[in-house]
Structure 1
Amino acid sequence: MTAFSRTRSGLLELDFEQRGSRTVLLRDVQKAPLMIVRPFELPCGTLSVFIVNPTGGFLGGDLAEIRVQVGPGARALLLTQSATRVQPSPSGLDAVQNIEFSVAAGGRLEYYPERTIPFAGSHFRQTLRADLEAGAEFGLTETLTTGRVAMGERLQFGRYRSSTALWRAGQRVFLDRVDVQPAAGDLTAPGVLGGQDYSASGVWIGGTEASEVTQFPAVPGRLASGRTARGAVWLRSLAGSGPELDAALTEARERLRRELFGAPKLEIRR
């Protein structure tokens, strides 16, 4: 890789704190092409922020870094304004996104981005690490398509890699790694994608190790969930369409939030 191989390097740093009974954004650092829309408070008191990439998406060689800290008692929700579009990479270079979260005891951070769409010939690599103090709450969902499905483009991307690790009080409680290379095998086979074009994963951690789920969300052949040995609640889902996946994911997410966080339904304004 030469000194000029990377095309763009974006940075976003956000610090949320509690002031009185409200969550405020005390610090934000933005370097294009990563930006945020002005934060606004939801009816439940959570402070919501939309992450924006005003360009056409990620290019091969791009680097995006997101770092977020949530203080004691603060409630923050991160969303993306639109889908993450990973553009073709003729050079074969990865578009890279590194995400680091830190949540203090009594704080809550939720990250529910729109789906990732890898275009034909694209390469994407993401790492996400969340460090939680004991008593912190965390929620995450991510969705992936097989490509630009509406254009008939399926499984034509080069490679998609993702690594998600959650740590609580210095102990790793969840690790999920995905490495999808369409040219390396039949991803449409049963037990893999099973002919579906949309997939999702999620993970939630309650404020205490005793946080319980009375009934794990499940839809035969479409959605499954459970708990890791160290208390993180995981979710997996497949669907043939985006709306079908979104409906199942939203219902499961809200059920888990209610049970693990004791939180009301998110009323998101777009």
Structure 2
Amino acid sequence: MSTHSWPDSEARSPKWTGRLRMELAERRGRTEIQSLVEEGALRLSRPVYGVGPDPQLYLIHVGGGCVEGDVYELTVVCHTGSRAVLTTQSATKVYKSPVRPVTQSLAIELAPGGCLDFRPDVIIPYEDARYHQRTHVRMSSSARLLYSEILTPGWSADGQWFRYSECRSWLTVWVDDRPVLYDHQWLCPGATFSGLGQMEGYTHYGSLLVMGYELSHPTHNVLAESVQNLGVQGCVGLSPLPGPGFMVRVFGLSTDEVEQVFHVVRGRIWREWYGAMPQRLRKY
């Protein structure tokens, strides 16, 4: 592994709170970090190898959370044949930011045969928090991607849900230089936010993107039955995408409900792709 400074480090803008760029490469049958650039509040753990050649990588925020005006940039490049599981050390806690939002930009590049399973912990916006996240994926048609995000409302002084100001998420996916997905989620709480047409009475929201997997009707039925057998009280939707791929949306009453659904879906995908079950990542 090599660690370098940013090419423009001398002329860099001081606005960055933290940024990180990693490149992964397959060497002698296992994936290793080819290069790593860290700056500001973002760090990366050493690779953790479990069963198989794929490392688990942990993003570390050295501060206690995100505050008004914070700007983060993360770039992940998976070269040909490389595979990894990427997660965060803990939840993304977004504190009061009434004027300038906390902003995070994520770029994912997947070469032919590259595979990334990105499982960040939950995003928790607290009272008066504003959070903007932009995710841009460019991948080969022979690459594979699992990408999830979960939003849970944070604590407020009066004990009420949904006291954050807004959470916005933009997701774009290009496959072989062809746009296949543009997804914009804008949650802006108001007096009727938990009612019909918005959170539908639920408190937690999650989405899981799977790219590089052709969703057949039998598989759709198996996934639907597996989710039903969990007995969760949430609402789950599944939509096929070009690319090929599909998106899973979940409204739930707890983080655990959303994670259970995602684990079932990941389990099905992992068994078909790798002949194994995904490991549950223990952090607490």
TM-score, with normalisation over the residues of structure 2? 0.85
Counterpart secondary structure, 2:266 = helix
CA distance in 2, matches of 1:190, 1:126: 25
CA shift digits 1:237-269 (9 cap, x unpaired): 11111222221221122223334x345212245
CA distance in 2, matches of 1:37, 1:64: 17
| Structure 2 residue 202 is the aligned partner of structure 1 residue 196 | yes
CA distance in 1, matches of 2:270, 2:101: 34
CA shift digits 1:107-140 (9 cap, x unpaired): 1011110010001101110100110012111110
Counterpart in the other structure of 2:174:
167
| Structure 2 residue 64 is the aligned partner of structure 1 residue 60 | no
AA aligned opposite 2:101: D
Task: Report deviation, 1:229.
Answer: 3.9
Kindly report which structure 2 residues correspond to 1:9-88, keeping only aligned pairs within 5 A, or say none. 9-88=17-96
AA aligned opposite 1:264: A
| Structure 2 residue 115 is the aligned partner of structure 1 residue 119 | no
Q: Does the 8 Å CA contact 1:44/1:264 hold for their aligned counterparts?
A: no
Counterpart in the other structure of 2:249:
236
Report the RMSD for the aligned CA atoms in angstroms.
Answer: 2.2
Tell me the matched-pair count: 260
Residues 121/231 of structure 1: CA separation in 2 closer, same or farther (3 Å cut): same
AA aligned opposite 1:59: V
CA distance in 2, matches of 1:132, 1:141: 17
AA aligned opposite 2:72: A
Q: Does the 8 Å CA contact 2:174/2:181 hold for their aligned counterparts?
A: yes
Counterpart in the other structure of 1:265:
277
Task: Report deviation, 1:44.
Answer: 3.0
Counterpart in the other structure of 1:110:
117
Q: Does the 8 Å CA contact 2:127/2:156 hold for their aligned counterparts?
A: no
TM-score, with normalisation over the residues of structure 1? 0.89
Counterpart secondary structure, 1:64 = strand
Residue segments in structure 2 that go unaligned for 5+ positions in a row: 1-13, 229-233
- My pick for the range that moved more, 214-223 or 30-39, is 214-223
Q: Does the 8 Å CA contact 2:212/2:243 hold for their aligned counterparts?
A: no
Residues 81/31 of structure 1: CA separation in 2 closer, same or farther (3 Å cut): same
Counterpart secondary structure, 2:219 = coil
Counterpart in the other structure of 1:100:
107
Task: Report deviation, 1:232.
Answer: 2.0
Task: Report deviation, 1:211.
Answer: 6.7
AA aligned opposite 2:277: K
CA distance in 2, matches of 1:97, 1:203: 18
CA shift digits 1:63-85 (9 cap, x unpaired): 10000100111101110111100
CA distance in 1, matches of 2:74, 2:148: 16
Task: Report deviation, 1:7.
Answer: 6.9
Counterpart in the other structure of 1:3:
none
CA distance in 1, matches of 2:27, 2:104: 31
